[in-house]
Amino acid sequence: MEILFTNKVALVTGAGSGLGLGTAKAFAAAGAKVALADIDEGAVKRAAHELTAAGHKAIAIRCDVSKEAEVEAMVEKTIATLGSLDVAYNNAGIQAPVAETADALGEDFDRAIAVNLKGVWNCLKYELRHMREKGSGAIVNCSSQGGLVGTANLGAYVAAKHGVLGLTKSSALEYAARGIRINAICPGVIETPMVSKAIADAPEHMEAIIKAVPIQRVGKEEEIAATVLWLCSPLAGFMVGQAVAPDGGFTAA
């Protein structure tokens, strides 16, 4: 069955590249009007222009999700420009430097939490304020395979991604009876610019993680996008507060 979002409005953060851009394109192809948000204003403007040039309705918004006021403005602009907010993919995130806990820097921990955890909380807060008024909506928060298992030398990142799952479950319970479904996606190693940078920065660390993937390859952006669209669609209507892991079997071990 084809998943369609005709006349729906989708908001995607971290949409300037990688998983966010791939998912924004998928929403647009499925008929949605899409608000693309990213801290990199140039990248997100190019991404939105690509969609509008192809005949889709899309807008670009510069937003640092760690800043609550910017997130509030992002949601307000989405609704003011596109007319509503039906689905959201809270994808924006950063990698943390590879380091043993005893050697890690406090500022790196603070930044990972600010973007990867508080950023999701900020987005949920203002998305839900709109969705609870209209009594419907679907939200997917981006965690990671690192939200389900530990990963040596990535304590800050893993702590933030575990936190996303707790936040997802708690908020899902708050709004399930009010027509809003909230779930999380936990991608494994996916072929994205962020993963490419991680490989360049810590090749031995990343090589070991990739070798441990049972399917013996990295994932593709479109595989994650398809999972997000399914979770936001009526086909996943009984999915509430779940952590779905497209990770090639990594967390099954």
Active site residue 126: no
Residue written as tokens 């679907």? 138
Angle between helices 106-113 and 155-175 (to 10 degrees): 20
Residues ≥6 apart with Cβ < 8 Å to 145? 186, 187, 188, 189, 245, 247, 250, 251
Residue among 177, 164, 174, 176 nearest 240 (CA): 176
Residue-wise DSSP of 121-157: HHHHHHHHHHHHHHT-EEEEEE--GGGTS--TT-HHH
The b-or-e profile of 214-245 (16+ CB within 10 A means b, else e) is eeeebbebebbbbbbbbbbbeebeebbbbbbb
Residue among 90, 97, 106, 66 nearest 15 (CA): 90
- Active-site residue identified among 89, 126, 157, 175: 157
Distance CA 15, CA 154 (A): 24
Q: List residues with catalytic annotation.
A: 157
